Amino acid sequence: MVKGKIVVVGAGVIGLSVAWRAMNSGWRTVVVDPQPCSGASWVAGGMLAPTTEAWPGEEPLLELGEASLRAWPEFAADLGDVGLRTEGTVVAAFDSADVRQLEILAEHLASTGREVEQLTGPELRALEPAMSTSVRSGLSVPGDLAVDNRKLLEVLASKADFRHAEVKSIRPGAVELEGSTVDCDAVVIAAGAWSRNLHPRLRTVIRPVKGEILRLGPGRGALPLGRTIRALVESRPVYLVPRDTGEVVLGATQYEAGYNTDVTVKGVRDLLLDAERVVPGISEYVLVESAAGVRASSPDNLPVIDWVEPGVLVASGHHRNGLLLAPITAAAVVALLDGEPVPEAAQVAGLESRG
Ligand code: GLY
């Protein structure tokens, strides 16, 4: 039975996941985006890593991320081959301040009942032989996952019904495009950092946060990586996410630069220098691509998944966690559409008191 029609504005990982799960639940679904599968979802590294993104004071985000991580294996299996990797993550510390930062993270996780394994430099290298002898110590988080974001987008997009168009305005029951109107029972705003321009209630809640990333191909003699490597190098975070193809995604810078997506010399230089200090053999890789995307961030780093007014929903503000939070976001949006309670961990994503 068809429950009604929804229009999802935005064809990144959040919009496409929402559209797919809503379709499975019986909603007729149209996705509107002038350029599907672009933006932050396309640029992303694909880490599904709530534990290593955790920080004191952000426990609700950690719980939300863990709930979504638990949903990922089934979400991926339902889609087919999306390059899900299960080898886990290691985190490396470079200088004594970095060592202390990771100790604080490990102590914080232990205080909330989550144990991570603290490793010496040689123990880290036994897991990842490509790692530098200068790495002092680190952590192992075997439960983290990673996904090939581009494969995922391709599979999700193959299931969507698209209108390639710019949205001019949204109101309950209709989305205005250039020269046409799409009527519907509900609109879902899932346009990432651009969501703030689509409804006045989102203006102060969502903001763009830029990130630059590099894609490296396996050059001659380049040692492949087995698992995701994250590191702090003199307090700068860097990560290397391997793909099944031998490619490595190296990320990511983070700064407030509005919607600017220029790749800066400084961004590329810092990423390469820091990565090379952690994995010296990275210099044997081939630089295949540099790109910048714009994350949709919120003041408390939690996403916003809620009604903005009757007939209009938002699913945005996923900050550094869009890929990770796709399954739980889709489940929460479908629950809201169906008039059912959202998953408990996602109740923190309400709009009330945040905008
Ligand atoms: N999830 C990592 C990033 O946003 O760079």
Asked if residue 236 and residue 128 are part of one domain, the reply reads yes
CATH of the domain at 193: 3.50.50.60
Question: pLDDT at residue 221 above 90?
Answer: no
> Is 71 a member of any domain?
no
Is 48 a member of any domain?
Answer: no
Residues 202 and 212 in one domain: no
- The preferred substitution site among 51, 271, 320, 323 for testing ligand 1, maximizing ligand atoms within 8 Å of CB, is 320
Give the tens place of pLDDT for each residue, 84-139.
999 999 999 999 999 999 999 999 999 988 888 999 999 999 999 999 999 999 99
Same structural domain for residues 177 and 113? Answer: no
Whether 53 is covered by a domain: the verdict is: no
| pTM (two decimals) | 0.97
pLDDT tens string 48-72: 999 988 888 899 999 999 999 999 9
Q: Which residues line ligand 1 (CB under 6 A)?
A: 45, 47, 211, 251-252, 295, 320
Confidence of residue 258 (pLDDT cuts 50, 70, 90): very high
Ligand 1 center to residue 323 CA distance, Å? 9
- List the structure tokens of 21: 């799960």
Query: Would you place residue 1 in the very low, low, confident or very high pLDDT band (cuts 50, 70, 90)?
Result: confident
Q: How many domains does the chain have?
A: 2
**Are both 329 and 317 inside the same structural domain?**
yes
Q: Is residue 56 part of a domain?
A: no
**How far, in Å, from the CA of 184 to the mean position of ligand 1?**
34
> Are residue 97 and residue 228 in the same domain, yes or no?
yes
Closest CA to 33 of 159, 189, 148: 189
Is residue 289 one of the residues assigned to a domain?
A: yes
Contact 15, 31 (CB under 8 A): yes
Pocket test for ligand 1, best of 47, 324, 325 (most atoms within 8 A of CB): 47
| Cα-to-chain-centroid distance, residue 132 | 28
**The last residue of a domain, from among 248, 276, 297:** 297
Average pLDDT of the segment spanning 324-334: 98
Same domain? For 234 and 287 the reply is yes
Atom of ligand 1 nearest to the CA of 251: 5
Please give the residue that has the higher pLDDT: either 113 or 243.
243
Whether residue 65 is contained in a domain is answered as no
Q: Find the angle CA(159)-CA(68)-CA(205) to the nearest 5 degrees.
A: 90
What range defines the domain where residue 107 resides? 89-142+208-297
Is residue 100 assigned to a domain? yes
| 120 plus 217 within the same structural domain | yes
Question: Which sign does the torsion angle of CA 56, 317, 25, 72 carry?
Answer: negative
* Same domain flag for 291 and 307: no
CA pair distance 297, 217, nearest whole angstrom = 30
Same domain, 224 and 310: no
336, pLDDT greater than 80: yes
Q: Taking 80 as the threshold, does the pLDDT of residue 355 lie above it?
A: no
